[in-house]
Structure 1
Amino acid sequence: MKKIVFIIMSVFLLLPQAVEPQDVLKEKVEVVNIEVPVRVFRDGVPVDGLNKDDFRLSEDKEPQTLNGFYVRKKKMNVRNINLQTGSTAPPSRYFVLVFRVFEYNEQLEKGVHYFFDQILNKNDRLLVLVNDRTLLLNQDVWQVKRREILDQILKQEALKSRQKLEQFFLAVQNDLDQTKLRMLLARDSGFYAPRIIDFLNRYLRTWNEFKTKYLIPDLDTFYNFARHLENVREEKWVLTFYQIEMFPNMKISGRIHAQIVQLISDLQVARSEDALHARIIEQLLERIDRELNAADSFPVEEISKMLVKVDTTYHCFIMGVRREVLSEDLAYKQVASDIENSLRAITKRSGGEVIFSGNIGSALHTVEEKEDIYYVLTYEPSRPERKGKVKIELPGNPDCRLFYDDNIRADYIGEYLQKKREQDPLVILEGLKLKGRTLAMKISNFKIAGSGKERGGRLSVDIRIRDDQNQQLYDQDRAFAAQESQMDLDVDFAFLKPGRYMFLVEVHDMLTGKTIMDVLQADVD
Structure 2
Amino acid sequence: MTEKRLNLIIKVENRIQVREMTKAKILILFFSLLLFCLIYDSPTAEQLRVDQQRIQEESIVINVEVPVRVFRGNQFVDDLKLSDFEVTEDGIPQKVEAVYLIKKRSIERREEERSFRPTTIRNFFLIFEINEYMPRLNEALHYFVLEVLKPGDNLFLMTPLKSYRLSAQAMEARPKEKILEQLKGLVRRDTLIGSAEYRSILSEMEALAKSLAQLVSGQASLPAGSIDSPLMTMDNLESAGEAPRSFDEQLQRYVELLGRLENLRRVDEANFLAFADFLKNMAGQKYVYLLYQKEYIPKIDPKILYQYIEMYQDRPDIYQTINGIFEFYRRDVSLDTEKIRQAFCDSSISAHFMFITTPKKDLAGVRSDEQVDDIFSAFNEIARASGGFVDSSSNPASLLMKAIEASENYYLLYYTPTNKERDGRFREIKVKVKLPDVRVIHRQGYFAR
Q: If the TM-score is normalised by the length of the shorter chain, which range does it land in?
A: 0.5 to 0.7
State how far apart, in whole Å, the 2-side matches of 1:301 and 1:42 are: 26
Q: What is the match of residue 31 of structure 1?
A: 60
Residues 228 and 285 (structure 1 numbering): CA distance in 2 closer, same or farther, change over 3 Å?
closer
For 2:383, which of 347, 354, 369 is the aligned residue? Answer: 347
Q: Which amino acid aligns with 1:355?
A: D
Tell me by how many angstroms 1:345 deviates. 4.3
State how far apart, in whole Å, the 2-side matches of 1:202 and 1:405 are: 46
Q: What is the match of residue 55 of structure 1?
A: 87
With the length of structure 1 as denominator, give the TM-score of the two structures: 0.53
What RMSD, in angstroms, separates the aligned Cα atoms of the two structures? 5.1
Residues 136 and 332 (structure 1 numbering): CA distance in 2 closer, same or farther, change over 3 Å?
same
Residues 200 and 266 (structure 1 numbering): CA distance in 2 closer, same or farther, change over 3 Å?
closer
Tell me by how many angstroms 1:118 deviates. 1.0
Q: Does 1:94 align with 2:123?
A: yes
Whose strand fraction is larger, Structure 1's or Structure 2's? 1
State how far apart, in whole Å, the 2-side matches of 1:336 and 1:395 are: 33
Q: Are 2:389 and 2:403, in contact at CA under 8 Å, matched by a contact in 1?
A: yes
Q: Which amino acid aligns with 1:207?
A: L
Q: Does 1:163 align with 2:213?
A: no
Tell me by how many angstroms 1:385 deviates. 5.1
State how far apart, in whole Å, the 2-side matches of 1:223 and 1:376 are: 25
CA displacement, residues 239-298 of structure 1 (integer Å, 9 cap, x when unaligned): 11112233232257xxxx74x433333567x7xx96x975x577545444444xxx7245
Q: Which amino acid aligns with 1:263?
A: Y
For 1:264, which of 298, 302, 309 is the aligned residue? Answer: 309
- CA radius of gyration, larger in: 2
State how far apart, in whole Å, the 1-side matches of 2:279 and 2:96 are: 23
State how far apart, in whole Å, the 2-side matches of 1:163 and 1:204 are: 20
Tell me by how many angstroms 1:315 deviates. 1.7
Q: What is the match of residue 287 of structure 2?
A: 237
Question: How many residue pairs are counted as aligned between the two chains?
Answer: 360
Q: Which amino acid aligns with 2:282?
A: V
| Mapping 1:28-427, distance limit 5 Å | 29=56, 30-35=59-64, 37=66, 51=83, 54-58=86-90, 66=94, 68-71=96-99, 73-74=101-102, 92-141=121-170, 142=174, 143-169=176-202, 172=205, 184=222, 187=225, 203=254, 206-207=257-258, 209-214=260-265, 217=267, 219=269, 221-251=271-301, 258=304, 260-266=305-311, 283-284=323-324, 286-291=326-331, 296-297=333-334, 300-321=337-358, 332-336=368-372, 340=376, 343-370=379-406, 373=410, 376=413, 378-380=415-417, 382=419, 384=421, 386-392=423-429, 404=443, 406-410=445-449
Tell me by how many angstroms 1:33 deviates. 1.3
Q: What is the match of residue 44 of structure 2?
A: none
State how far apart, in whole Å, the 1-side matches of 2:121 and 2:442 are: 27
What secondary structure is seen at the aligned counterpart in 1 of 2:62? strand
Residues 251 and 404 (structure 1 numbering): CA distance in 2 closer, same or farther, change over 3 Å?
same
What secondary structure is seen at the aligned counterpart in 2 of 1:262? helix
CA displacement, residues 93-122 of structure 1 (integer Å, 9 cap, x when unaligned): 221111112222210111111111111112
State how far apart, in whole Å, the 2-side matches of 1:91 and 1:263 are: 62
Residues 267 and 206 (structure 1 numbering): CA distance in 2 closer, same or farther, change over 3 Å?
closer
What secondary structure is seen at the aligned counterpart in 1 of 2:387? coil
Q: What is the match of residue 425 of structure 1?
A: none
Tell me by how many angstroms 1:392 deviates. 4.4
State how far apart, in whole Å, the 2-side matches of 1:43 and 1:286 are: 46
Tell me by how many angstroms 1:154 deviates. 0.8
Tell me by how many angstroms 1:159 deviates. 0.8
Residues 152 and 185 (structure 1 numbering): CA distance in 2 closer, same or farther, change over 3 Å?
same
Tell me by how many angstroms 1:344 deviates. 4.1
Kindly indicate whether structure 1 or structure 2 has the higher relative contact order, using CA contacts under 8 Å at least 6 residues apart.
2
Provide structure 1 residue ranges, at least 5 long, that are not aligned to the other structure: 1-13, 82-89, 411-525
Tell me by how many angstroms 1:140 deviates. 2.4
State how far apart, in whole Å, the 2-side matches of 1:197 and 1:347 are: 45
Residues 390 and 188 (structure 1 numbering): CA distance in 2 closer, same or farther, change over 3 Å?
same
State how far apart, in whole Å, the 1-side matches of 2:102 and 2:260 are: 39
State how far apart, in whole Å, the 2-side matches of 1:344 and 1:244 are: 14
With the length of structure 2 as denominator, give the TM-score of the two structures: 0.61
Tell me by how many angstroms 1:229 deviates. 2.9
Residues 384 and 248 (structure 1 numbering): CA distance in 2 closer, same or farther, change over 3 Å?
same
CA displacement, residues 215-254 of structure 1 (integer Å, 9 cap, x when unaligned): x5554554444334323333321111112233232257xx
What secondary structure is seen at the aligned counterpart in 2 of 1:33? coil
What secondary structure is seen at the aligned counterpart in 2 of 1:238? strand
Residues 311 and 329 (structure 1 numbering): CA distance in 2 closer, same or farther, change over 3 Å?
same
State how far apart, in whole Å, the 2-side matches of 1:161 and 1:322 are: 22
Tell me by how many angstroms 1:203 deviates. 4.4
Residues 35 and 317 (structure 1 numbering): CA distance in 2 closer, same or farther, change over 3 Å?
same
Q: Which amino acid aligns with 2:308?
A: L
- Percent of counterpart pairs with the same letter? 18
State how far apart, in whole Å, the 1-side matches of 2:431 and 2:120 are: 33
Tell me by how many angstroms 1:136 deviates. 1.0
CA displacement, residues 438-495 of structure 1 (integer Å, 9 cap, x when unaligned): xxxxxxxxxxxxxxxxxxxxxxxxxxxxxxxxxxxxxxxxxxxxxxxxxxxxxxxxxx
